[in-house]
Amino acid sequence: MISVQAATNGDIAEIAAIEAAVAETPWSAAQFSEELGLPHARLLAARDGGEIVGFLDIHIASGDAHINELGVTPSRQNEGIGWALMSYALALAKNEGCTVVSLEVRESNHAAIRLYEKAGFAAVGKRKRFYTCPDEDGLIMLKEL
């Protein structure tokens, strides 16, 4: 059974390992540790038993929320873990008074785009060459709460 909760310092190594496995330009463990210290950041961990199988980083401020990172252990993808993280994050943003949630996603990341569309996000624009390694445009997606 998947559970989602706030991440702790003890979770950072596992979260960074997932990030390294799924991201083309991964955040470091130090960057995730910094997120825990930011008052507007919420780093979430998805667990199956005692094992972290996914994470989501969201910033919440002034009625808006922005999803920065979402990652699921490669061998556990397509099991609903991303959906559980997204559902939790959207409920959290709504409970904290947000009216809109935004994110960027690589144009080639079709699996993530499907997840975001399923969650009610719509593409509203592009950020040219937003991503590196390789250079790629980022789709800007929004969801009103």
61-114 per-position pLDDT tens digit:
999 999 999 999 999 999 999 999 999 999 999 999 999 999 999 888 898 999
What band does 132 get if pLDDT is binned at 50, 70 and 90?
confident
Q: State mean pLDDT over 114-134.
A: 88
Give the per-residue pLDDT at 102: 97
Is it the case that residue 129 has pLDDT exceeding 80? no
Domain boundaries, the chain: 2-144
Q: Does the N-terminal peptide bond of residue 26 adopt cis geometry, omega within 30 degrees of 0?
A: no
| Mean of pLDDT over the chain | 94
- The rounded distance, in Å, linking the Cα atoms of 104 and 89 is 16
Residues near 95 by Cβ (< 8 Å), separated by ≥ 6?
A: none
Please calculate the CA angle 141-63-39 and round it to the nearest 5 degrees. Answer: 100
pTM of the model: 0.92
Count, residues in the chain: 145
Nearest to 40 by CA among 19, 17, 68: 68
- According to CATH, the superfamily of the domain at 2-144 is Gcn5-related N-acetyltransferase (GNAT) (3.40.630.30)
